[in-house]
Chain A
């Protein structure tokens, strides 16, 4: 397969994630869409690493995975904290930070 198929697929997945962030209101689903975008970046990294025949891009992809795991942990912790304070899980209602 040509590498450009992978790159175009990665662009498509990234745009799907961005679209999801634009149209969904639940912070849980927004986190899922962030995962989509990070994974699209991973796919592009691995595809380019295959293109130049160098494994360093795969190390980048693994570091991106670590960052994504951290983001998930902190994001889900925030969601649980929001839920426990009985605030609505809706980013339109949560747009004001009250300290």
Chain B
């Protein structure tokens, strides 16, 4: 039973992965990745990692994939025609296969003695949320806090990168892009020296970009 489940999930994971790289439309690639992530969650359950499996489904297949779907719907479109670099069509699969062979040799010929076993017997609470939470807040408190700071930085970075480009001159770093863009409907031409000035608080900026529309 366990073997059947493993092979079904492995097939799903591998099929999803191949679907990601084979689909022409990025939207279908995202859908294939969702199949892949659900199959991986099944594999995590087989490895008695209940919390990781739940986080995989909730965080990855839920939240992150919704973000992907939104961006694909916003950016849209398939890939333009593919002009390979000379030799790429031949060399890329070769490098992939070579990497797999190398990894397999490295893993299977290593001296990990337990590799041929199913692992030790574990008690019922192995990998459930309570155990992981205790471990995370007692033994790994510093990585836990560091990852929360990392998440905060990423959120701020995403807002700075992608936010409020249309409203001209409203945010600090977006003024630098608005000069070259020229696509904002009512943004007058900004003098080219403007982006050298450190931006001080959008509205009182002494440029014509600051006037309200």
Contact = CB atoms under 8 A, between A and B. Distances in A.
Contacts of B139: 56, 59
Interface string B72-100: 10110101101100001100110111011
A74 B37 contact: no
B193 interface: no
B52 to A, nearest CB: 5
A3 B88 contact: no
B13 A9 contact: yes
Contacts of A18: 95-96, 99
Contact of A11 (B2, B21, B44, B103): B103
A81 B140 CA distance: 36
B104 A11 contact: yes
Given A1-B2, A22-B95, A70-B154, A79 B75 contact: yes
B30 A32 contact: yes
A1 B8 CA distance: 13
**Residue of B75, B118, B151 most packed against chain A (CB within 10 A):** B75
A18 B93 CA distance: 10
Q: Report whether over half of chain B's contact residues are helix, strand or loop; otherwise say mixed.
A: helix
Category for how many chain A residues contact B: 35 or more
B18 A74 contact: no
A36 B17 contact: yes
Nearest to B3: A1
B153 to A, nearest CB: 8
B1 to A, nearest CB: 11
Interface string B109-126: 000101111111010001
Interface residues of B, number: 89
Given A32-B68, A80-B162, A61 B3 contact: no
Contacts of A83: 74-75
Contact of B132 (A23, A62, A85): A62
A23 to B, nearest CB: 5
A31 to B, nearest CB: 8
B33 A47 contact: no
B20 A50 contact: no
A80 B33 CA distance: 20
Contact of B115 (A7, A46, A67, A68): A7
B17 A17 contact: yes
A50 B49 contact: yes
A67 B158 contact: no
A94 interface: no
Interface in A8-28: 8-9, 11-20, 22-26, 28
Contact of A36 (B20, B161, B162): B20
B117 A2 contact: yes
B213 to A, nearest CB: 18
17 contacts: A1-B46, A4-B107, A5-B10, A9-B13, A26-B26, A28-B68, A32-B30, A39-B36, A52-B114, A63-B147, A65-B60, A69-B154, A72-B68, A73-B155, A74-B157, A80-B71, A80-B161
